[in-house]
C-alpha cells in the first residue's frame, strides 16, 4: 500500500509517495538522495541514522516515513548554513572527533539535540547523551572534546550576537 506524505527536509518541502512500510532512513537516502544519514544496523543500536524531527533526535531506522508526515526533518546535510559549518561539524573537524566518519552524522545530530536542551553540558552529560551511538574506531575522547568545542563556540556566538 502506498501513502502520500508531506515533509519539510532541511527547509525544503517535499510531497512524496511512499510504501506504508518504508523506513524513514530509506526514504531520506533513496528518494531524497540525502545519503549523509547512514544505515548501520537497522535495529536502533548504533545511532548512525539519527536525524532531527521537529527539533528532537530520532533514529530514522526505527520510524516509518509515513510517521514523519507533516514533520520538519533536519539531516546532517541541513546543518551547515550559508556555506558555514555548524559548530558541531567544526568541532568534529578541529578536535579530530572522527576516524572513518561512518558514525559522525549520527553523533553530530545527537549532540545537536543535547546542546539544544543543555547548552553547557558536562563531560558526563555528553557521554550519557551519546550512549546510543556507537563508534567502532575511537575511544570517544575526541568526540566528547568536539561537543565541548561546539558548546563553547555556540556560547561565544550567542554573546557576540547580543
Same domain, 74 and 93: no
Q: How many helices (H) and strands (E) does the chain have?
A: 5, 5
State the chain's mean pLDDT as an integer: 95
Last residue of a domain, one of 78, 109, 133: 78
Of residues 62, 53, 40, 71, the one with CA closest to residue 110: 53
Same domain, 95 and 152: yes
Name which residue leads in pLDDT, 64 or 134. Answer: 64
Structural contact between residues 106 and 48, judged by C-beta atoms closer than 8 angstroms: yes
Last residue of a domain, one of 52, 78, 104: 78
Task: Name the residue range of residue 23's domain.
Answer: 2-78
Domains contained in the chain, number: 2
For residues 14-26, average pLDDT: 97
Backbone dihedral angles phi then psi of residue 114, each to the nearest 5 degrees: -55, -50
> What's residue 42's pLDDT?
74
Same domain, 119 and 71: no
Contacts 24+ apart (CB under 8 A), 123-126: 123/148
- Taken in order 141, 147, 151, 152, is the CA torsion positive or negative? positive
Same domain, 13 and 54: yes
Bridge partners of 46, per DSSP, are none
**In this model, does residue 162 exceed pLDDT 80?**
no
Same domain, 100 and 155: yes
Amino acid at each position: 500500500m502506498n501513502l502520500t506524505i508531506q515533509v519539510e527536509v532541511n527547509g525544503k518541502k517535499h510531497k512524496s509517495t511512499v510504501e506504508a512500510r518504508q523506513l524513514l532512513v530509506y526514504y531520506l537516502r533513496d528518494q531524497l538522495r540525502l545519503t549523509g544519514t547512514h544505515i548501520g544496523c537497522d535495529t536502533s543500536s548504533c545511532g548512525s541514522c539519527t536525524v532531527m524531527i521537529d527539533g528532537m533526535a530520532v533514529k530514522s531506522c526505527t520510524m516509518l516515513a509515513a510517521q514523519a508526515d507533516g514533520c520538519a526533518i533536519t539531516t546532517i546535510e541541513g546543518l551547515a548554513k550559508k556555506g558555514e559549518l555548524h559548530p558541531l561539524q567544526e568541532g568534529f573537524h578541529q578536535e579530530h572527533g572522527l576516524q572513518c566518519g561512518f558514525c559522525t552524522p549520527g553523533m553530530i545530530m545527537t549532540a545537536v539535540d543535547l546542546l539544544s536542551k543543555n547548552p553547557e553540558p558536562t563531560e558526563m552529560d555528553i557521554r550519557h547523551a551519546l550512549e546510543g551511538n556507537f563508534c567502532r574506531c575511537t575511544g570517544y575522547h575526541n568526540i566528547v572534546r568536539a561537543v565541548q568545542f561546539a558548546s563553547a563556540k555556540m556560547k561565544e556566538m550567542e554573546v557576540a550576537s547580543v
